[in-house]
Amino acid sequence: MKDSERIYNAEHIAGTDQRVDEPVVRTGRRFPRHQRVTITQAILLFVLVLVLCQLWLFTATLNAYLGGDNNVVWPGAIASIACLALNAGLLRYLYWLEQPAAPVQS
């Protein structure tokens, strides 16, 4: 590895086994890997729960609609679209996590 690829970055060392004076590979990410994994798993879990809520919402709304109950149609649609917006926002955040951070001076 070239010297230019090595940096001394205290942020990357935090929470790892490496010492401060030890050169680390520059990952160019906003968080160290173990933090990104935790965030990703949390987002995955949250998205799963929201999708399950949407599934329940859709079956309940359809059942009510087919039974002639119109009161839940609009609230169900609004809630489902809100869940979709939240999911899309979380996905966008996930991509943002993977983007390289601003360069760090060594």
What does the binding site for other proteins look like in residue numbers (CB under 8 A)?
Answer: 1, 25, 27, 33, 36-37, 40-41, 43-44, 47-48, 50-51, 54-55, 57-58, 61-70, 73-74, 76-77, 80-81, 83-84, 87-88, 90-91, 94-95, 98
Closer to other proteins by Cβ: residue 1 or 102: 1
24: which strand partners? 7
Closer to other proteins by Cβ: residue 1 or 10: 1
- Angstrom CA distances, 98 to 3, 6, 30, 53, stand at 24, 20, 8, 28
Residue 6 DSSP SS3: strand
